[in-house]
Structure 1
């Protein structure tokens, strides 16, 4: 492959771009919080304002794609567009701006790409964990994927996509600022029900890897960083009990208090409490003593797939 490629991951809250060079090196990595899935859980539609924000970000990405001479683009859309009645309006807008139509990923494919992005990046040695069991957790705005596989292999053995995410759960339950006790209990009940429905045992894996913005942001807080630092977060091993305690503190804060945290992106401050509750629930079910954090996720899996197809 002689020219750069571009991977785009468009989720419920964030749209991300990774431009990769001929040797697989990252030439550009960008993220914009556009909240495409705002209100989808209640209305079933992508709102005009959300579409406008997302298209503005895609226009910026189109400039970068042309600047790097990209000849192949894979644009993947996840939870918000799976659920929206007017997804065709979104697809047409993407095609006009980038010349490709978005692939709306099924939850299982989304999970497999997230697993590949995390595990290949970390280069996990099968000897690190008994029987090589690895659980990858990817908390998005609209859905959460839990994926079980074998260390040293990029293809997972089992995956489950839960219809809970930071934006969806926040809009559903956490309306007060800070959230009330009854609201938090309702959100936790939703999480527990989703975990009850998971067809495999999360406690079966001895290595738990967390990916995507909710988890990396929580990790920044546990580490007490002075600002969000991708390199300082990547590959950190955190004590699960400390992660869960930090999640409890985040949920109890007001949005203004969260925005005042030096490592918090303002576009994530309102929904991070819901995402933290999901992470806490998954860690409790997994019975993990620690959490390995990866800055590589589904976006990196999408980028890798372009090389696999070449």
Structure 2
């Protein structure tokens, strides 16, 4: 049994799972806790003390959970820590709390692992476009089967762009346009041949699926592999953008720690669909933690 902890800019993920001799993955627990480790880091370049403390509390709980089932812990972190000048202020106490070091993934490693988590569960192979929208960065990977052809970590994420460009509640049309422009400007550095399908994972995508499916509570089995048109995603984004934060928080499957950044996140998703020439979104409840298992 493995315990993989993925410490992101907005949320901390725990996957308890094991892969059998036949390659099948058995998931015992897949948990997400929003701690907003990257709070303000996009502007200040440093991790805030209160954000570090929130995250350490979560890590202590995750360690107890892993040890209760005898699972060996692997811990990694991504853009929220990568961009911080004081990352040592988090990494040292995090290692003390977990009992194992926390590895800072490069953008390329993050993109590769996210891609493989989907490619290994897509046995038919063929052209594949995989998008991972995080709080601080967004990885877009182009490949064929398990072979990656292009992988780029773009410095745009749901938290990062919300903090930088969204200051009204609800956001104004000009703010939405600014988020879209920032995402499109980032994606232009990675040319993409048009492809009709884009696979997306991580919190923005899975929340989008849960909301479009009308789920009263989150169900990863229904979310994983669900398909939507670009028009459906855009209609949801427009509906969310027309609501205040308090109104969005009333929606099932949309907690406050996601509700304040979801509009920017779905706008990034729409920009990626446009950049890839995709009319269909396939949402995957996957991610780098699955590849690490």
Q: By the TM > 0.5 criterion, same fold?
A: yes
Counterpart of 2:98 in structure 1 is: 98
Counterpart of 1:178 in structure 2 is: 170
Give 1 or 2: higher helix fraction: 1
Q: How many aligned positions are there?
A: 289
**Conserved 8 A contact 1:234-1:295:** yes
Mapping of residues 39-78 of structure 1, within 5 Å: 39-71=40-72, 73-78=73-78
Question: Equivalents in 1 of 2:193, 2:79: separation in Å?
Answer: 22
Per mean C-alpha deviation after superposition, the further-off stretch among 287-296 and 274-283 is 287-296
Counterpart of 2:157 in structure 1 is: 165
Question: Equivalents in 1 of 2:238, 2:258: separation in Å?
Answer: 16
Q: 1:17 aligns with which of 14, 19, 27?
A: 14
Question: Equivalents in 2 of 1:110, 1:21: separation in Å?
Answer: 21
Query: Structure 1 residues 102 and 281 mapped into 2: Cα distance closer, same or farther (>3 Å)?
Result: same
**Conserved 8 A contact 2:8-2:79:** yes
Q: Cα RMSD (Å) of the superposition?
A: 1.5
Mapping of residues 1-310 of structure 1, within 5 Å: 4-21=1-18, 23=20, 24-71=25-72, 73-121=73-121, 123-126=122-125, 132-151=126-145, 153=146, 155-198=147-190, 200-201=191-192, 203=194, 205-303=195-293
Question: Equivalents in 2 of 1:66, 1:274: separation in Å?
Answer: 37
Per mean C-alpha deviation after superposition, the further-off stretch among 17-26 and 256-265 is 17-26
Q: Which runs of 5+ in 2 are unaligned?
A: none
Query: Structure 1 residues 180 and 240 mapped into 2: Cα distance closer, same or farther (>3 Å)?
Result: closer
Question: Equivalents in 2 of 1:229, 1:18: separation in Å?
Answer: 15
Q: Which runs of 5+ in 1 are unaligned?
A: 127-131, 304-310
**Conserved 8 A contact 1:113-1:301:** yes
Cα displacement (A) at 1:294: 0.7
Question: Equivalents in 2 of 1:243, 1:190: separation in Å?
Answer: 19
Cα displacement (A) at 1:19: 1.8
Q: Deviations over 1:57-113 (max 9, x none)?
A: 000011012111123x22110001001111011111111011221111111110010
Question: Equivalents in 2 of 1:252, 1:276: separation in Å?
Answer: 13
**Conserved 8 A contact 1:250-1:276:** no
Question: Equivalents in 2 of 1:281, 1:21: separation in Å?
Answer: 35
Question: Equivalents in 2 of 1:237, 1:185: separation in Å?
Answer: 26
Counterpart of 1:129 in structure 2 is: none
Question: Equivalents in 1 of 2:54, 2:98: separation in Å?
Answer: 16
Superposition TM-score, scaled by structure 1 size: 0.89
Question: Equivalents in 1 of 2:27, 2:218: separation in Å?
Answer: 20
SS at match of 2:31: strand
Query: Structure 1 residues 108 and 202 mapped into 2: Cα distance closer, same or farther (>3 Å)?
Result: farther
